[in-house]
Structures are given as structure tokens and as C-alpha cells.
Amino acid sequence: NAGVTQTPKFQVLKTGQSMTLQCAQDMNHNSMYWYRQDPGMGLRLIYYSASEGTTDKGEVPNGYNVSRLNKREFSLRLESAAPSQTSVYFCASIIQGPDTQYFGPGTRLTVL
Amino acid sequence: KQEVTQIPAALSVPEGENLVLNCSFTDSAIYNLQWFRQDPGKGLTSLLLIQSSQREQTSGRLNASLDKSSGRSTLYIAASQPGDSATYLCAVKETSGSRLTFGEGTQLTVNP
């Protein structure tokens, strides 16, 4: 049981490049989330997926797209990276009922 | 809009001391409140979750309390150890299935 896994762990991009951050969970959770964490800003929700086949915008969705590929996987895509997207990105999944969130180890992204 | 504040932003204590971390939120109509621990360069680990109908939760040396009417929660750490050094974040959920709103965290250092 690996919990929530994220790839890659580190990434450096040039402005305008695109990339996809991958997230997978093996806990059979319905809901999955993408957050970014920035100094002085805390964690902010980018997108979430309440269940397979559905996605919704969070607090800061501009510049991002997501895909809920199946129940296990939820990917985050940057189509044209900007320096303002330099951040640490966390994926999380949630078990309904107690609503406890489980987080992945994060992806540290730098956009030059 | 829900806002979550954590005071102090940083705390340094000698080993063995009992300590309290504070979390306040502006809208008392919450579903639950969760305390997380984050080690440097790592993801978030859930410590305690308090449902809106509960007053406190305990796990080992940790005790979290919730006072919805005043919009406050405290995390009490007994007999602190150097291994407790980390950033502690609280987050509130307003309804089942809604997103978490995070505070910016308290960075705790326990000195040997």
C-alpha cells in the first residue's frame, strides 16, 4: 500500500514549456485534489475531482488543466509554464466519512 | 470567505516542555478541523481530525481541542521532543466534500 504517489519529485522548466504532473493513489478513494504551496500563501487548491469523471476548479485554477484518468490517477498539466508557477505541488486524496486527507510527497517545480 | 490563522508563526522550545499551538477560523459553521504535520521537503501527514460535533481528539502526546463558537482550535503537545520539530498546519472543511482551507502553519523547533 503505497498511499499517494507523485512524479516527478523535482522539475525545472523554461518559460513556455509544458509538462504533466502525475498523481496516483491505491486506497480506492473517490476524491482527489491538487494544491500548490508557496511561502507566505499557505496551501491553495488548484483543482479537485470529487469522483471519477468529474473535475472542478479550486481557488487558483488559471494556467492549469487536470485529467481524472481513472479512480486511481489524477494528473495536473501546465500548458505554457510561467515563473509564477514556481511552487511545490501536492496531490491529496480523501476517504469519505471521516474526510481525512492523505497527501503525496510533493513535486518541486521551478520555472525559469 | 473562510480564513484560517495560526499563531505563532514560529516557536522554539527546550526539550521536555509542554506547548500549545493555536488555530483560529472566521466562519464557525465548519464540518471538521484537521491538524497536519509537515517535515522540511516532505508532504503533509494527518495528525488529528476533529468533527464539528466533537470537542477534542487525542493521539499519544497530542491533544487537539475545538471550540466552534469562538472559532478556535488548539494543538497541545506534551513533553516535547526534538523529533517533534516540524511545521504544524491546521485546516478546516466547511461541508462534507468541500475543500480544505489551510492556515499558514506554525514552525516548531524543539531544542535538545
CB contact under 8 Å between A105 and B42, yes or no, is yes
B82 phi/psi in degrees, rounded to 5: -55, -30
Going by pLDDT thresholds of 50, 70 and 90, the confidence category of residue A1 is: low
CB A33 within 8 Å of CB A4: no
In this complex, the residue of B32, B49, B102 whose CB is nearest that of residue A43 is B102
Going by pLDDT thresholds of 50, 70 and 90, the confidence category of residue A13 is: very high
Q: pLDDT tens-digit profile of A65-99?
A: 999 989 999 999 999 999 999 999 999 998 776 67
Q: pLDDT tens-digit profile of B29-51?
A: 899 999 999 998 888 999 999 99
pLDDT at residue number B99: 76
Cell output for A82: 510561467
Whether residue A55 lies within 8 A of chain B, CB to CB, comes out as no
In this complex, the residue of A42, A50, A96 whose CB is nearest that of residue B102 is A42
For residue B97, pLDDT over 90 is answered with: no
What average pLDDT does the segment A28-38 reach? Answer: 93
Q: Computed over its alpha carbons, how large is the radius of gyration of chain A? A: 13
How many CA atoms within 13 Å lie on the side-chain side of B72? 6
3-class state of residue B82 by DSSP: helix
For residue A33, pLDDT over 80 is answered with: yes
How far from chain centre, in Å, is Cα A31?
A: 12
